Amino acid sequence: MRVPGFTHLYGRIFAIFWATLLVVVVALVLMFQYDPRSIQPIPEHPLKQLQSQAIKINKRLNHHPASSNDINFNTRIKALTKRQDSHNSQLYFTTIDGDIIAPRKHTKALRNFITIADNPDTPKQRLYGRWLMAGPFIITTEHQQLFMYSGKVWRGAPPFFVQIMDKPFKLLLVTMLVSTPFLLWLAWAVTRPARRLQQAAERVARGEFEADPSLEQGPEEFKQAGASFNQMVDALNNIISGQQRLLSDISHELRSPLTRLRMATALAQRKQGQSSELSRIDTEAERLEKMIGELLELSRMQVNSHQQQQIVDGHSLWYEMLEDARFEAEQHHKTLTYNQLQAWPIKGNPNLLISALENVIRNAIKYGNDVIEITFTHQPQQLLITIDDNGEGVPDDELDDIFRPFYRVSTARDRSSGGTGLGLAITESALRQHSGSIKATASPLGGLRISMILPLSR
């Protein structure tokens, strides 16, 4: 099994887990060291007061030399142990060996304290409930050496960290707060390369086949995934380039004999005159040439649409095309109307965007009876375009199929009109390349409604 390195994702998770645990444990240890319920050095100011008190008691006991009668000595000791400061403090005296001389109160706390604090060179203190013990301080008399301890009521509020340690819920909350920065950093380290990979995948879905060096950064797992992704993009570019070369070759090889065929048909018509057979050959050759051109346009659109994208406004993009379509509709004794164009910002390939809308409008002119209505509706962050006509429409069960290449609702009609079944497929491909969508429904005018949605640039 490999040792987890920090450059690997699982190594970072492992390291952050133990770093968080270490920080929490160290914090708890430091808290316990400052807990007044544990043995601690006496702060400087209280220590000086207690040392001064010990000096005064030492002088008082030595002012009257102790007699050989221990009863008199013990009486004076007991007099010193009376409660002071309204019974808020208490002095204790013990022998050097730890035997309590006086008083006999708080003996449980005192006995515990003298077992852990028995060096007068380094006096200590400890809290027992609300009773704070401190000492020892050396008292030297002619009779014997004693240890003096002090006890008093502690009225201070428990430190914040003591309150935390005494409440499991608060301790859990603090632990979560301490670990949050580490976990946030881990989440950022994991999601940042994941977001980059997601954005790169979305660009590829839009037809932008470009390698992204930033994908090969971050944890080793994401570096490897990013490198594989870039290799995939390069492979796709190679495949697409090969496809483009193949399409160019097909275009040249197919159009050359078609051109010769049409020239031969024209020569035959000159020599033999017009005939239905020669006209049919010329018509089919013309349709075939048109179909090849549209098929090549569709293929080029799916590959190269992202290479010429720019931000354009809706008015300058479609105005001339709409005016030309209105003129064409009038020549066929039909009415084409559209609402006022605005300067909607749209990012894309201008030629493809014009071609996408023009294909739908010309279909509406071709198959509508006499009315074509185009409506532009500005919605939040997108533009809705609807094209309605009052023609025969499309059966409901075929509305989703009309965007498939070469699909024909009525073969006889398409042949008579010269349609190839590629116009709406080109439009659908163009909109998909621009992160848009297209949908066909029944029109309120009685014919077909085509709804197109394009995202607006910010």
Active site residues: 252
Closest CA to 172 of 180, 164, 181: 164
Give the residues across from 442 on adjacent strands. 448
Separation between Cα atoms, residue 128 and residue 84, nearest integer Å: 19
Separation between Cα atoms, residue 387 and residue 363, nearest integer Å: 10
Intra-chain end-to-end CA distance of the chain, in Å:
51
Residue 454: its H or E element? strand 448-455
User: HSE-up of 403 (CA within 13 Å, CB side)?
Assistant: 18
At 211, is the secondary structure helix, strand, or coil? coil
Instruction: Tell me which residue has tokens 């301080």.
Output: 137
Separation between Cα atoms, residue 191 and residue 202, nearest integer Å: 16
DSSP string, 357-385: HHHHHHHHHHH-SSEEEEEEEEETTEEEE
Closest CA to 438 of 373, 382, 393, 391: 382
